[in-house]
Amino acid sequence: MTDFNPAGFRQQFPALSQGQCYLDSAATALKPQAVIDATVNFYTQEGATVHRSQHRAAQTLTEQYEQARVQMAQWINAPRSENIVWTRGTTESINLVAQSWLRPRLQPGDEIIVSQAEHHANLIPWLIVAQQCRAHVVTLPVDKYGIPDINALPALLNGKTRLLALTQMSNVTGAMPDIARAVEQAHTNGTPVLIDGAQGVVHCPPDVQRLDIDFYAFSGHKLYGPTGIGVLYGKTELLESMTPWQGGGKMLTQASMTDFTPQAVPHRFEAGTPNIAGVIGMSAALKWLKTFDLQAAEKYSQRLATLAEEQLSQIEGFRSFRCQNSTVLAFDIAGVHHSDLVALLSEQAIALRAGQHCAQPLMDALGISGTLRASFAPYNNEQDVTRLVGAVKYALDLLAD
Ligand code: PMP
> Helix or strand or coil: residue 139?
strand
Q: Return d(Cα 363, Cα 371) in angstroms, integer.
A: 9
CB 330 within 8 Å of CB 358 = no
* 57 vs 130, residue with greater confidence: 130
Mean residue pLDDT across the chain:
96
Phi, psi of 218 (to 5 degrees): -155, 170
DSSP string, 242-294: PPPSS--TTSEEEE-SS-EEEPSTTGGG--SS--HHHHHHHHHHHHHHTTS-H
> Helix or strand or coil: residue 130?
helix
Q: Check residue 186 and give its pLDDT.
A: 98
Q: Which pLDDT band, with edges at 50, 70 and 90, does 2 fall under? A: low
Q: Give ∠ CA 200-73-103 in degrees, rounded to 5.
A: 75
Tell me the CA end-to-end span of the chain in Å, nearest whole number: 52
- Looking at ligand 1, which residue's alpha carbon is closest to its atom 6? 198
Pick the closest to residue 121 from 244, 235, 232, 268 (CA basis): 232
Q: Return d(Cα 174, Cα 300) in angstroms, integer.
A: 16
CA of 236 to the centre of ligand 1 (A): 24
CA of 226 to the centre of ligand 1 (A): 14
List, in sequence order, every beta strand (DSSP E) within 105-159.
Answer: 111-115, 136-140
> Helix or strand or coil: residue 331?
strand
How many secondary structure helices (H) and strands (E) does the chain include? 14, 15
Q: Check residue 345 and give its pLDDT.
A: 96
- Looking at ligand 1, which residue's alpha carbon is closest to its atom 12? 90
Q: Return d(Cα 260, Cα 264) in angstroms, integer.
A: 13
Ligand 1 atom showing the smallest separation from residue 170 Cα? 3
Q: Is the peptide bond before 79 cis (omega within 30 degrees of 0)?
A: no
Tens-digit pLDDT profile for residues 234-268: 999 999 999 999 999 989 999 999 999 999 999 99
Average pLDDT over residues 77-94: 98
Note if 358 is an active site residue.
Answer: yes
Q: Return d(Cα 359, Cα 112) in angstroms, integer.
A: 18
CA of 197 to the centre of ligand 1 (A): 8
Q: Which of 39-53, 293-307, 311-325, 366-380 has the lowest mean pLDDT?
A: 39-53
Q: Indicate the top mutation candidate among 199, 201, 357 to test ligand 1's pocket, ranked by most ligand atoms within 8 A of CB.
A: 199
Q: Return d(Cα 158, Cα 190) in angstroms, integer.
A: 9
Model ipTM value: 0.99
The segment(s) of the chain belonging to CATH 3.40.640.10 are 36-290
Residue 1 has pLDDT above 60, yes or no: no
Q: Return d(Cα 314, Cα 390) in angstroms, integer.
A: 12
Which residues are CB-contacts of 21 (< 8 A; sequence separation ≥ 6)?
A: 349, 350, 351, 384, 387, 388, 391
Tens-digit pLDDT profile for residues 206-239: 999 999 999 999 999 999 999 999 999 999 999 9
Residue 353 has pLDDT above 70, yes or no: yes
The segment(s) of the chain belonging to CATH 3.90.1150.10 are 6-28+293-400
> Helix or strand or coil: residue 142?
strand
Tens-digit pLDDT profile for residues 115-142: 999 999 999 999 999 999 999 999 999 9
Q: Return d(Cα 149, Cα 170) in angstroms, integer.
A: 13
**What fold characterizes domain 6-28+293-400?**
Aspartate Aminotransferase, domain 1 (3.90.1150)
- Looking at ligand 1, which residue's alpha carbon is closest to its atom 4? 198
Q: What is the DSSP letter of 148?
A: B
Q: Indicate the top mutation candidate among 358, 360, 373 to test ligand 1's pocket, ranked by most ligand atoms within 8 A of CB.
A: 358
Just give the CATH number of 36-290: 3.40.640.10
Tens-digit pLDDT profile for residues 15-49: 999 888 999 999 999 999 999 999 999 999 877 78
Q: pTM for this structure?
A: 0.97
Q: Check residue 120 and give its pLDDT.
A: 98
Residue 107 has pLDDT above 70, yes or no: yes
Phi, psi of 221 (to 5 degrees): -70, -20
Strand 161-167, strand 193-196: pairing: parallel
Radius of gyration in angstroms for the set of CA atoms belonging to the chain, rounded to a whole number: 22
Name every protein residue with a CB atom under 6 angstroms from any ligand 1 atom: 27, 89-91, 119, 121-122, 167, 171, 196, 198-199, 219, 358
Residue 80 has pLDDT above 80, yes or no: yes
Q: Check residue 306 and give its pLDDT.
A: 98
Tens-digit pLDDT profile for residues 156-210: 999 999 999 999 999 999 999 999 999 999 999 999 999 999 999 999 999 999 9
CA of 27 to the centre of ligand 1 (A): 8
CB 115 within 8 Å of CB 142 = yes
* Helix, strand, coil percentages in the chain from 3-state DSSP, rounded to 5: 45, 15, 40
